[in-house]
Structure formats: C-alpha cells, structure tokens
Chains A and B, each alone.
Chain A
Amino acid sequence: MIALYFVLMAIVAVAAFTVGAARGRRLQAAGLRLHSLPAYHGLFLAALCTVPMMVAIAAWAPLAPRYVESSAIAALPEAARPTTGLERDARLREIVLSAEGRLTGPAAANVEAAGRAYLSAQTTSKTVLIIAGILAALAAFSWGLPRVSADFRARNRFETFTLVVLIACSAVAVLTTLGIVSSVLFETLRFFQRYPWWDFLFGLQWSPQTAIRADQVGASGSFGAVPLFVGTSLIMVIAMLVAGPIGLFSAIYMSEYATPRFRSLAKPLLEVLAGIPTVVFGFFAALTVAPFIRRAGEALGLSVASESALAAGLVMGVMIIPFVSSLSDDVINAVPQSLRDGSYAMGSTKAETIKRVILPAALPGIVSAFMLAISRAVGETMIVVMAAGLAGNLTFNPLEAVTTVTVQIKTLLTGDQEFDSAKTLSAFALGFVLFFFTLTLNVIALRIVRKYREQYD
C-alpha cells in the first residue's frame, strides 16, 4: 500500500511534468516567446504536485500506527483491555501475529476479532492517506496549471525549489548532530534526576543490576562509572602503544623512504586493514588472540583472565594503525620540501632530517592524528564487546578483565528493557560522556590540523 503511494507519487510527477511541458510547447508553437523552456514548466508542475503528497505522508507516518493500535485495542472487550504499557505491547504483538496469520497455536476469539479490527483500521488509514494525497496533488495541479504562460518564470521558481531541497539536505547533518545531542542529553538529565551526577562521574562501584521487584536484595543499582573510564583508558593506552609507534614509523617510511613501487604495495595493505569490519577484529581478538595470551601467560606462570584487557587492546591497536599512519602521512607530506633540502644541505642524514626537522615541524599534525586515533579507540565497540569483560573491575593490570563504556552501553541496551529504568537511562549517560569526550578530542584535533595547514600554505 505504501509502495503504491510512492508509485502514485511517481505517476503524478510524470503526469504533471508531461502536461506542463506539453502546455509550454503549445505556447511555443503558437509563436510566443517563453521566459523558461517548456521542460521547466513541466518540472515546476511536477514539484508543485509531489510536495503536498510528501507532506501528506510525512504527517501520516507518525499518526497512523497510533490510530491503528488504538482501534485494535478498542476492539477488545472491556475486560481484556491491557492496563499497563508492557501488557499493551504484548497484547498488540499477539494481535498483529494473529492478523498476519503467523500466530502459532489457536488465537482467542477476542484476539482474532481485534486482529480483524487491526487489519481494517490499517486499510482505512492507508486509504485515507492515498485519497488525501491524490486530493492534495490535484489541488496543487489545478492551482499551478493556469500559471503556465509565456511570462511565467518557471525556471526561477524551480531553481528556488531545488536550492531549498539542497539546503535541506545539507541541514540533515546538523539535524543529526542535534538529534544525537538531544537524544543523549534528555535521557541523561532524566538519569541524573534519579541518580546524582557526582556519584556517576566519581563513583568507584559499577553494578547496574536494578531489581525487578522492590523487595529483592540489592534493589538499587550502583552507577559509579570510574571503573568503566579506567577500563576504557587501559584498553586505549594499550591500543595506542601498539598503533602509535607502528603507525608513525609506517608513515615515516612510506613518505620518506619508500620507492613509489613499494608505496603502491604497502598503501593498499594499510587500506585493507582499515577496511576490515570491527566485528572481524573482535572475533579474532576473542577466539585467537585472547586464548593465545592466556596460554602464553600461563606458560610464564602468570594468571591471565580469558577476557584480558591486553587481548582487546592489542587487536584494537592494530585496527587503528591505519588511522595513525594515514593521518601522519598527510601531515609529513605537508612539510615543505625546502625544510628537507635545507637540512640535507647541512649534511644531515635522512634519519637526522626526519628526527630533528620533519617531525618537529609536523608535530602538531601528528598530535592531532593521535588524538583522532584515541577518539576512535575510545568509541570502538565490537572488539571490546567480543573480547573484553563485563564486570566493572577497577584495575590497571592489563592481564585482568576490564569493561569499557561502549561495552556497557551495548549490554544495557540490548535484550528486553523497559525504557524508564535507571539501568537503561545510565546507558544514555554513558553515551553522553562518550559523545562529548570524542567530540572534544575531534574539535581540538581538527582545529590543530587546520591551523597548521594554514601555516604552510
């Protein structure tokens, strides 16, 4: 049905275009000098007719499910109506399954009736949409068609329309940021209404298990996020210890020493590394690297947790090598050749030039590359979800299991959840911290890079 609506919209657009263009051509054939080409009259009409249809479906989309659901519930007998939100969801699921004929086992009579009501409400709402869409398009068409005349500035109108569409598309990026900020911010504020923010930021105990019934032991969870911050930092530091030197040295070698032939071989290698999905790294970390480290540790007489921070950190380090190396490569290449030439003229070797001239000159850029890599490492999810632990141990020992911010967000928000519990809201608070931490790092890093580029341009 919805697909039908879009097909209809396409048909309306094509029809309006054809009519408008034909009318334009007729005017042209009558010997009039048109301001705009006939096609622009067509395009103007097509845009004019589709926009109301778009508006209609945009208004319909959020309203329709509410209407359909409430009429399905209303079809249930008074006694069988759900009282709580949870019960309502369960009942609705049953009704939908019964309506679609996918219910395993026999359906209760009232559910079946509600299923029929659900279907008919759905049909009604879609019919209303289609009729409203057609009426809106017709209205727009009958308003627009008389305007097609020799003097009508159809091209300018259409180009204004296009420009508005282009601006709207650019605004999506801003809207996304606003969406992210508002979604994490509001939930975080709700969380802080229930749980003091200083306990969240500075508390040392992380055990988000809130009880389902009030009389259970440990009924209130404890949301001190310091263990998560420490765990995240620990894994990030391990990752940077791997990625920093390897990435930087690769970049130096690639930009200063490598022949074009070697470069053309080595660059794809790093690109492949950058293109591997993180879930693959996670699998490798959890099933190959972690057991290997555990065995190696045992051979040395150390006790290593099977979800050690070391395994996750090492693999994450390899994952961010390409970030460090490609960003560093850029900044090293941006160092003007004259600096190198000057250094060589003084008789220094290549290594000395790199160490004493190029790296100091490129330092701000390299620092920002490292900052971007750190933000990547902190926000990385799948590797740590698969290879790091769940328990919030407050430890700096890389051989023990730690948990991270992203692991906790994922754990708290998957599976059955009620949206109002402190447990769920705490995930948004963690998301808030994560978002603003990475955002700050990025803003600083990008500012450094920009400033630094201007310096040499």
Chain B
Amino acid sequence: MTDAALDPGAVRAIDLASDASRARLRRRYRAEARFRAYGIAALAVAGLFLVLLVGDIVIKGLPAFTESRVTLTVTPQLSQVSTDGTTGADALRGGDYAAPLRASLQELFPEVTSRQDRRRLFFEILSGGAGDDLRRRIMADPGLIGRPVTVSALLDDSADMYLKGRLTGRVERTGRGTLAISGATGDVTLDSPGAFRDTLATIKKALRDEAAAIEAAAGRVAQRLEALPVGDPRRATAQAGVDADRSRAAALRARAAAPEAPEVLGTDTPSELVAVNGGIVKLTSIGPSQAQGRVLVPLGTAGTVSEGAWRTITLLQPEGSRRLTDQHIAWLEDMRAEGLVTRHFATRFFTSGDSREPELAGLLGGLVGSLLTMFVTLVLCLPTGVAAAIYLEEFAPKNRITDLIEVNINNLAAVPSIVFGLLGLAVFLNFFGLPRSAPLVGGLVLALLVLPTIIIASRAALKAVPPSIREAALGVGASHQQAVFHHVLPMAMPGILTGTIIGMAHALGETAPLLLIGMVAFIVDTPQSVTQAATALPVQIYLWSDLPEPAFQAKTAGAIIVLLVFLFVMNGLAVVLRRKFERRW
C-alpha cells in the first residue's frame, strides 16, 4: 500500500456510453466468449479422443470373442484315431483326428482332387484345433468310434476373419435379369443382358483411380529428378522409370475410356463371384452383357436362371493381396449358403494359453500370470506401504532423515517405470539370481513401483483422521502405538484400501518393467507357481500386437477389452468403497 496522492492529471473521464466504449466492451466480451470456447474445445478434444480410442478398440476387438465353426458329420475310424487298433487312452492320444474331418470335407466337395486344392481345403479352411476338439470328445467317449458324429469343427483364423467380414470388403447383390450359363464345371460363359454393366463401370473407375495414383507418383519422382545435376547417371534411370509409369498410366486410362470394352479380372483387381444353382463361378473377364468365368464350386445344372435366383459377390480386396484365394472364399461361401457355418462364443479365448495359431490363442496364461504377479505385489506392498505411512505420519520425528525419506518417496513416484525394470534386472535377476520371467520378480518390481502411490494414499487417509481420536485414546491411557493401531488405523482403512486398489490397477496395466525382466517369452503353459516362467496380461497384449495376422490384431484388441474391464471394475470398486465408507469429520 502506498500513500501517494493521486495525480489529478492522470484522472481521465471515460464515457461508457460512447461508441468507442461500446465497441471495446463488445470486443472484450467476444474475447471472453472465445477464451471460454477454448476451454470447452480442449475438454471436447480429450473426450473425443477417449471415445475414438475406446470405440476403435471395441470395434477391432469384438471378433475376438466369437469363433466360426463348420458343422460336419464325421465317421471316425478306429484305424485313424488309434495308433495300435485299441481304444486305450495312450493309443487314442496319438491318433490322427484330422483324417476323419478331412474325409468329411472331401465328401462335401468331391470335385477337389488336385494336390494344391486339397491342401487348401484341408489345412487352410479348417483349424488344427478342430482335430484336438474331436480327440477330446472321442477320448471322453470311445463309443463314438465308427459311428457318424456331428461335430462343430473350428475354422482357421483367415476363414474366420473372412466370415466376420474383416478380411476384405464384400458386396453382395442379387442378380438383375436372367442369366444363361454355358456349363456346370470348368470354364463357362455367362450371358445376361446389361447385368454386368455396373460392375464393369466400377472396374473402369478403379482403373482411372489407379492411373491417377501412378501419374501422381511419377510426377513426384519427376519433380525430384529436376533437383539432380544434369549428367548424373541416376537421372537417366529415373527418367526411364517415370516414362514407363506414365505410359502404363496412359494405357490404363485408355482402357477406362472405353465403357463397353470387356475387362480381364486378375489378381490385382477386385474379384467377382457369381453364386448360382448351388455353385460358384469366378469371373475372369467381364463385358457389359457377357462374362467369362471359371467354376470354383460346381453348379447343380447349367442353363438359364431367372432374375433374382442368382447373386454376385464382389470381394474388394484383390486376390493377390489377401490371405485367402477366391477358391477358399468360394468354399466358405458355399458352406455358408448351406447353413453349415455357425458362430459361437469363444470360450477358448479365456480358457487356453498362447498359441502360434490365432484361432487357438487364448488369454489364460496372461490372466493367471497377472494374477500371480498381482498377488505377490499386494502381499509385499500393502504391509510395507501402510507401515511406512504409519511411521512417517504418526511416529517420525521431524528431522533430516525423515525429510530425506519423504523427498525420496515423492521422487520415486515420478521415476519412469522402465527404470524399475532396470533395477529388477540388475538386482533381482543378476545379483540375487531369482528366476527370469517369473511372476515373483515381476511382483517384486511392481511392488516397488506402486509403493510410493500406496504410501502417499495411506498418509492422506491417516491424516484425514481427526487428532481428537488420537487425543481421546491417549487421554484414557493408551500408549502411542495403541492409539494408532487400535483407533486411528481402523478409521483410515477404507482410504488406505481405496489407494491400494488404485495402485494395484496401475500395476496391472504396467508393461515396461515386465519386458525387461523377461516376462515376454512365448509361453504356452499356464504358470502354476510364482517361480515359473509366465507372461502378464498387458505383456500378452504387447506380444500379440506385434504379430502380422489380422486375427491377432483382433485378439490384441479383445485382450485390451478384458484388461480395461478389469481396470474398470477395480476403479469402480475403489469409488464404491470411498462412497460407502467416506466419513466427513
């Protein structure tokens, strides 16, 4: 405060009603509104991101929770499923259970004879797990041998992803006009006035787009070419490449410009399948009213079919860049049309361990690993954390050592988690010689990681208990420790538990330190104890996310959903606990 007298010259009358004032006021209010909008926008961006993240993961992850199976009737022969002709458990365990499934598929598609097609049908449509399921069933009831059994055989991951619509875009249309087919097998001609015009137009458009893309790429190369010095040998080769691209683009444009000219469908264009008379034809060349095709699944009869009795299926992803050929897809379409394909909830996802085959891989190993790790973490860090909090809050004298401990705890809370991994590697693995990849070590490291969280939360809970409680206890003759352990601690317990649950949720999602102590191995078996090699749920997510199969991508997202559900439940529990036991003093 100063007592300086106001300089009379500095006083300035402001006419609040003047236009300038009004304009200034409007400007200020606009600035106010703008500032406010920034705040809302910031929150909206954060919210939008959260929605996108969760939505993306749910959409990607839902296929992981179901699996596709095909209903087959198999007749397992004793000679196939038993190694020595008896029905002893050992003999049955070693049997070939894929053989009866193969026989059943062969019955379904008797025309498949070539070596390549048989391999595709037997090994790339059905999963290896189908035989294991059958083995389990027959070993439980050997009486099924020799009799027809209806089995629901697991499909391979690519087939499964196709049936879920995740492998390629797929457009199905009912055929317009009548369709005349020249034969039931082999190469056939399909005639239908004007029916293929739309498809042809789509293909022509795709050609135009491709030409444009090639030209754009060539243009970019040509631009960079200018920067090279004249006479550089790279210039000539690059120029030749640009010229070749441009002439390719011109050829594509010429094809696109002729609307009636037939187009050949290859492995780099979308595939067109025609489903008619119980069979499937793949079109190899297409004109406005006539198409050439090759039969993939034999037709019942040739001849003319009426409008609406046939369908076209467009597979947008070109055959060359997807995991299943048109032949695979034709079989799947045929089985689906006959109602043999069913979708089931994938209990396997929760009851089996990791596998190299996406359709067989499950979370059990990761779940159990996480459970064991969390158990170790909880057992170690809850007592230690609470004890440390009690000491610091209730007993510690105010001196330099206490200060040091407090600063330490605050800093530990902000140490990057991967550094704790380094600690685990150097101290627990190399110095103490504890087993690699074991939940015991993971739990130890995570316990140190969440210890600061629990100490801080417990201290806050202890601090929230009013001093009158302590004083009353001391007043009636309790010792200091009796006051704390008999009166203060029980009242702080809900707060401590809430903090512990939040700390455990944090530990459950932690990945980086576990990678360093070796919990990243590919482990099929479910760990039985805390010293066996294991993975944890988030590590399983990391491992799967690295794999190229699209089905593993779905599994990754599915595993994330499971992890998020766990975290949600834990945090929800913490909130409920806080609400129920929170006491205002």
Contact = CB atoms under 8 A, between A and B. Distances in A.
B410 to A, nearest CB: 6
Given A169-B384, A284-B53, A428-B426, A381 B564 contact: no
Contacts of A355: 35
A162 B419 contact: no
B388 A379 contact: no
Interface string B40-59: 11110111011001001100
A173 B43 contact: no
B390 interface: yes
B32 A349 contact: yes
Interface stretch (B148-156, B315-323, B507-515): B507-515
A245 to B, nearest CB: 7
Interface string A268-282: 011011011111111
B79 interface: no
B229 interface: no
A250 B42 contact: yes
A414 B481 contact: no
A257 interface: yes
Contacts of B426: 183-184, 186-187, 428
B395 interface: yes
A275 B567 contact: yes
Interface in B508-557: 508-512, 515-516, 518, 520, 538, 541-542, 545, 553, 556-557
B133 to A, nearest CB: 23
Contacts of B433: 62, 65-66
A409 B509 CA distance: 20
Contacts of A361: none
B574 to A, nearest CB: 10
Interface string A403-438: 000100110011000010000000110010011001
B333 to A, nearest CB: 29
Contacts of A148: none
Contacts of B541: 279-280, 283
Contacts of A280: 53, 57, 509, 541, 560, 563-564
A4 to B, nearest CB: 14
Contact of A166 (B387, B409, B510): B387
Given A65-B433, A283-B57, A253 B36 contact: yes
Contacts of B506: 275
Given A272-B50, A318-B46, A170 B553 contact: no
Interface stretch (A138-146, A201-209, A439-447): A439-447
Interface string A180-210: 1001101100000000000000000000000
A380 interface: yes
Contact of A279 (B34, B419, B538): B538
B387 A165 contact: yes
Contacts of B427: 179, 183
Contact of B388 (A162, A173, A248, A250): A173
B416 A438 contact: yes
Given A173-B451, A184-B426, A277-B511, A284 B57 contact: yes
A278 B388 CA distance: 29
B415 A439 contact: yes
B387 A170 contact: yes
A352 B405 contact: no
A246 interface: yes
A257 to B, nearest CB: 6
Nearest to B35: A351
B418 A431 contact: yes
B187 to A, nearest CB: 39
A453 to B, nearest CB: 13
B29 interface: yes
A249 B41 contact: yes
Given A170-B392, A174-B405, A179-B427, A414 B515 contact: yes
A291 B41 CA distance: 25
B355 interface: no
A400 to B, nearest CB: 16
A280 B571 CA distance: 17
B45 A173 contact: no
Contacts of A438: 414-416, 419
Given A249-B42, A269-B50, A352-B28, A379 B418 contact: yes
B383 A180 contact: no
A172 interface: yes
A446 B410 contact: yes
Nearest to B391: A166
B422 A184 contact: yes
Interface in A287-323: 287-288, 301, 318, 321
A159 B479 contact: yes
A85 to B, nearest CB: 12
A236 to B, nearest CB: 12
A281 B56 CA distance: 11
Nearest to A187: B426
Interface string A349-376: 1111011000000000000000010011
B529 to A, nearest CB: 9
Nearest to A431: B422
B112 interface: no
Interface string A93-128: 000000000000000000000000000000000000
A386 interface: yes
Contacts of B331: none
Q: Which of B31, B53, B542 has the most CB of A within 10 A?
A: B53
A62 B429 CA distance: 11
A230 interface: no
B432 interface: yes
Contacts of A386: 542, 545
A172 B451 contact: yes
Contacts of B29: 349
A80 interface: no
Contact of A173 (B216, B409, B422): B409
B36 A169 contact: no
Interface in B380-431: 383-385, 387-388, 390-392, 395-396, 404-405, 407-412, 414-423, 425-427, 430
B222 to A, nearest CB: 13
Contact of A382 (B408, B479, B512, B557): B512
Contacts of B510: 277
B441 interface: no
B176 to A, nearest CB: 35
Nearest to A61: B432
Contact of A277 (B43, B383, B567): B567
A184 B411 CA distance: 17
B220 interface: yes
A55 B19 CA distance: 87
19 contacts: A170-B387, A170-B396, A176-B448, A187-B426, A249-B38, A250-B43, A269-B43, A275-B505, A275-B567, A276-B509, A277-B510, A280-B541, A282-B542, A283-B541, A351-B35, A372-B414, A379-B419, A439-B411, A446-B407
Given A183-B427, A283-B545, A351-B31, 11 more contacts: A159-B479, A172-B448, A173-B405, A176-B423, A273-B50, A280-B541, A375-B414, A379-B417, A381-B511, A431-B418, A446-B407
